[in-house]
Structure 1
Amino acid sequence: MIRPFSLSDLNAILKIERESFPKSPYDRITFIDLYDFCPETFLVYTETSADQKEQVWGYIIFIPEGRIISIAVLPSQRRKGIGKELLRKAMDTPDLERLQVEVRRSNMGAQTFYSHMGFQMIGVVPNYYGNEDALIMQWVPIV
């Protein structure tokens, strides 16, 4: 199930973040600031276990003006369609003209994921990640 983020999800989000982006994870304050900035578009993917505990497996943060700030799925839950569902939810935002995302040049998995979702590379930002370039990928809805 995809639902809006709540502050009670923060510890689970931090775990996903640390495991997904070990080189440069966002911290607690950053996530709280992002929630304050875009509460309607900070979404989490959850599943309820047999013992009725809700587990947060992934999240997406985007701004309706067309930028994905972050998307991540717990590594143990990847390749199950969770990232695709989260991204589709963002892509289904009414009046969305485009979505852009920065991806590390070395992150072939992310590049492949976004390409399969209809994104195209439109530019490069040299040294965006310190000593590594970012590829700018963009999706535009068909109208």
Structure 2
Amino acid sequence: MRNLTLLLIIGSIVITSCKSYQPKQIIDHDDPNALVKSDSVAISSDETDYEIIIFEPGFNQWLQSTARPRGYYSQQFLEDRNAILVQNWNLRHSQPSQYNPDLYLQPIDYDIRTDYGYEVNYLLYNYFVYFQLTYNQRLSTFIPKI
């Protein structure tokens, strides 16, 4: 089994080897704790052995309401951008005196030679867009846009 794990405590993302499907979460707007419970997104695919889990307050809502829909970007575009963004994330993680260590708590183990599938790349890319917009960070020369 292949494992890829990345933990971001402020926004935790975990990609692990898995072959199960997580159904879409339903938010009960009458339940004040519903948004807290739904602040994680889990996607896995029968096409790949990888799953990505993102724990970040507000990310799930942002993903559903603001992010570009699935299929908007090609997988190649997502992979190319993720390679750059992960590299810069890890660089910042390795320099806690220069960058806020509370934002870059864990390095991301992302191998550009591995096909993680569309869903994992889509969620990772959108997390980076969300992260940059929410925390006013620039991980590349590309302006994060929606």
TM over 0.5: no
Structure 1 or 2: larger strand share?
1
Flag the structure with more relative contact order, 1 or 2, with Cα contacts below 8 A and sequence separation at least 6: 2
